[in-house]
Amino acid sequence: MKNENELLKQLIAFSDSLVWSDQLDDTIVRLLSKTEMITGANRAVVYLLDSQQESFRLLAQGKDRALFKGYEVLPAQAYLRLPWISRTLKPVIIYDMLHPDTEDFLPEQLIIDAVNGAAIPLVASERLLGMLCITYTIKLDWTEKQIDFLTNVGRIFGSAIYHAHIIQRTQELAVLRERTLISRELHDGFSQDISSLGVRTEAAILALQNKDYELLEADLDCILESVHIIQKAVREEMLDLRSCSKEDRSLIVLLNEYLERFMEHWRITVEFVYTGNIDSIILSTYSKMQLLRVTQEALSNVRLHAKAKKVLINLSIEERMLVLKIKDDGVGFDPSKISSSRLGLHIMKERIEQVGGVFDVSSVHREGTNVTVKIPAVVRMEDFYEKK
């Protein structure tokens, strides 16, 4: 271990090395390598506590995983002086790994090639999340400054774990929210077609009962056409959802792919224009998904209701906002007279508001419909300074 100034520098470097991520295990493994570097330890492993603080789960680097095979989960109360650490949130220094204190019951794999070491609490918001265990092959005389340093390492480490937990929880909530929206969209999108199919089927049954075979044939043709439309729409919806899962694609690429497929399937012309350096925008995967889903819903409305021949889509940057405009030349409608049972517009508005944006729709009878979406745009710093 190093002197006080060096310890401070190492602590700052350790904090700066954090990569905030939702991948908890990957985050911890990356930090273990950094921990060995700044502490001079020959081995560093983490034992994460479960939510009931009943068991430890081991996380180690690749070079150490084989050593701990079969001991990845341990009963928490039996190891590492957990009750004392839970109460004090202070590291336990083990001066002799081969002859530890009777209270310091250690995993035997941790003792291999070790002379002394430390069990460091991983703490966030005064809550114990686990232990960081480091071992040394040489004898060390620990100072109070060095122990304080280890305490701070544990708190920084704990903050990274806590942050990863928060991101994971936020993503889980976003997934649940998205499932709700998709279920409502599917209901709104297909309920009318299925209801129409039911009406046509009842008409066909009535025609059969009346032995009106000409009318029966016409009804069956309509039923067959409705089935084909529903099949096509379901296939399109599945492809739309698959497009949203392509996180590594840019928004422009995703929109182009979707619009090409839409024009091919539905024979409606769509012109897509984008202005400004759209690639300079930092756009979260969730925001990108919402913009794509709103575009898909808007064009679904065009297909089902607008009787439009052409759609113009414009994507631009205006006053620190990413602006998406969708305009069609269809029959238009009166937004104030939209039935509450038609959920499409409400869902589109809800999607955009979830990412801090603004949604607006305007329409005039026989003059088409305009959909405008604005969400906050964050420009990459290198692009900002290039403009300066």
Read off the pTM.
0.54
Average pLDDT value over all residues in the chain = 83
User: Same domain for 158 and 28?
Assistant: yes
- Domains of the chain: total: 2
The pLDDT of residue 388:
43
User: Same domain for 15 and 159?
Assistant: yes
Q: Does residue 373 lie within any of the structural domains?
A: yes
Domain boundary among 168, 187, 213: 168
User: Same domain for 16 and 158?
Assistant: yes
User: Same domain for 256 and 153?
Assistant: no
Q: Does residue 160 lie within any of the structural domains?
A: yes
Three-state SS across the chain? CCCHHHHHHHHHHHHHCCCCCCCHHHHHHHHHHHHHHHHCCCEEEEEEECCCCCEEEEECCHHHHCCCCCCCEEEHHHCCCHHHHHHHCCCEEECCCCCCCCCCCCCHHHHCCCCEEEEEEEEECCEEEEEEEEEECCCCCCCHHHHHHHHHHHHHHHHHHHHHHHHHHHHHHHHHHHHHHHHHHHHHHHHHHHHHHHHHHHHHHHHHHCCCHHHHHHHHHHHHHHHHHHHHHHHHHHHHHHHHCCCCCCHHHHHHHHHHHHHHHHCCEEEEEECCCHHHEECCHHHHHHHHHHHHHHHHHHHHHHCCCEEEEEEEEECCEEEEEEEECCCCCCHHHCCCCCCHHHHHHHHHHHCCCEEEEEECCCCCEEEEEEEECEECHHHHHHHC
User: Same domain for 25 and 158?
Assistant: yes
User: Same domain for 162 and 28?
Assistant: yes
Over residues 84-99, the pLDDT tens digits come to 888 889 998 888 887 7
Q: Does residue 188 lie within any of the structural domains?
A: no
Q: Does residue 205 lie within any of the structural domains?
A: no
User: Same domain for 143 and 262?
Assistant: no
Over residues 227-237, the pLDDT tens digits come to 887 887 777 76
Q: Does residue 77 lie within any of the structural domains?
A: yes
Domain boundary among 151, 168, 185: 168
User: Same domain for 46 and 146?
Assistant: yes
Asked if the model's pLDDT at residue 325 lies above 90, the reply is yes
Over residues 261-282, the pLDDT tens digits come to 899 988 999 999 999 888 778 7
User: Same domain for 149 and 268?
Assistant: no
Asked if the model's pLDDT at residue 387 lies above 50, the reply is no
Q: 164: pLDDT confidence band, cut at 50, 70 and 90?
A: confident
Over residues 3-57, the pLDDT tens digits come to 656 766 776 666 666 655 557 787 788 888 888 888 889 999 998 998 887 888 8
User: Same domain for 164 and 255?
Assistant: no
Domain boundary among 113, 142, 168: 168
The CATH number assigned to the domain holding 373 equals 3.30.565.10
Asked if the model's pLDDT at residue 381 lies above 50, the reply is no
The pLDDT of residue 215:
92
The CATH number assigned to the domain holding 98 equals 3.30.450.40
The percent of residues in the chain predicted with pLDDT above 70, rounded, is 85
Q: Does residue 221 lie within any of the structural domains?
A: no
User: Same domain for 346 and 256?
Assistant: yes
Over residues 211-264, the pLDDT tens digits come to 999 999 999 999 998 888 788 777 776 766 666 656 667 899 999 999 998 999
Q: Does residue 184 lie within any of the structural domains?
A: no
The range of the structural domain enclosing residue 88 comes to 4-168
Q: Does residue 233 lie within any of the structural domains?
A: no
User: Same domain for 254 and 163?
Assistant: no
The pLDDT of residue 289:
86
